[in-house]
Structure 1
Amino acid sequence: MADRFASRPLLVLWDIDGTLIDNGGVSKEAYALTFTRLTGRPLQRPVTTDGKTDPAVLRSMLRQHGIEATPALLDRAVQTMAAVFESLVPRLRERGHTEPGAPAAIAALGRQGNVVQSVLTGNTVHNARVKTSVFGLDGGLDYEVGAYGSDSEVRTDLVRVARTKAAAKYGIRFEPDTTVLIGDTPRDIEAGLGGGAYVVGVATGEYDVESLTAKGANVVLPNLRDADAVVRAVLGARRDQPDA
Structure 2
Amino acid sequence: MHSRPDILLLFDIDGTLLDTRGAGAGALLDATEEVLGLAREKIPPLDLAGATDGAVVRKLFADASQPLEPSRVEAFQKYYLARLEERLHHDEFPGRLLNGVTTLLTRLVDETHFSLGLLTGNWRAGARLKLERFGIHGHFVDGGFGDDGEQRNDLGPVAVRRMETATGRSFAPHQVIVIGDTPKDIACAHAMGARCLAVATGVFAHASLLPFAAWQVLESLEDTETLLQVLAA
TM-score strictly above 0.5 = yes
**8 Å contact from structure 1 (residues 28, 47) kept in 2:** no
Structure 2 CA distance, aligned partners of 1:153 and 1:41? 22
Residues 9 and 207 of structure 1: CA distance in aligned 2, closer, same or farther (over 3 Å): same
Structure 2 partner of 1:75 = 74
1:21-64 Cα distance to aligned partner (Å, 9 max, x none): 11101111010111122134423213412422112111111111
SS state at 2:209 partner:
helix
Q: Is the 8 A contact 2:148 2:155 kept in 1?
A: yes
* Alpha-carbon distance change, 107 to 93 in structure 1, aligned in 2, over 3 angstroms: farther
Question: Is 2:186 the counterpart of 1:192?
Answer: no
Q: Which amino acid aligns with 2:44?
A: P
Give yes or no for the alignment of 1:214 onto 2:215.
no
Letter of the 1:152 counterpart: G
CA RMSD of aligned residues (A): 1.7
SS at the partner of 2:228? Answer: helix
In the superposition, the TM-score normalised over structure 2's length comes to 0.92
Conserved? CA contact 2:38–2:64, under 8 Å: no
Q: Which residue of 1 aligns with 2:175?
A: 178
Distance 1:206 1:15 in 2: 14
Establish whether residue 231 from structure 1 lines up as the match of residue 215 from structure 2: no
Q: Does 1:23 align with 2:20?
A: yes
Alpha-carbon offset, residue 215 of structure 1 = 0.4
TM-score by length of 1: 0.88
Q: Which runs of 5+ in 1 are unaligned?
A: 1-5, 237-244
In structure 2, what is the Cα distance between the partners aligned to 1:216 and 1:92?
41
Aligned partner of 2:113 in structure 1 is 114
- Pairwise CA distance, 1:92: 8.6
Looking at structure 1, the residues matched to 122 and 161 of structure 2 have their Cα atoms a distance apart, in angstroms, of 19
Find the residue that maps to 1:116 and give its secondary structure: strand
- Report which stretch shifted further, 73-82 or 106-115: 73-82
Look up the match of 2:89: 90
Q: Does 1:201 align with 2:198?
A: yes
Cα displacement (A) at 1:81: 1.5
Query: What is the rounded CA distance, in whole Å, between the counterparts of 2:212 and 2:16 in structure 1?
Result: 17
Kindly tell me the number of residue pairs found equivalent between the two proteins: 229
Corresponding residue number in structure 2 for 1:242: none
**Superimposed CA distance per residue, residues 211-244 of structure 1 (whole angstroms, 9 cap, x where no aligned partner):** 22210100111111111122122223xxxxxxxx
> Given the superposition, is the C-alpha separation of residues 171 and 189 from structure 1 closer, same or farther in structure 2, using an over 3 Å criterion?
same
Per-residue CA deviation, residues 100-158 of structure 1 (Å, 9 max, x unaligned), is 1111111121121111112111101111111111112223211xx21100111111111
Percent identity at matched positions? Answer: 29
**Which stretches of structure 1, 4 residues or longer, exceed 4 Å deviation after superposition?**
none
Contact preservation (8 Å) 2:37, 2:64: no
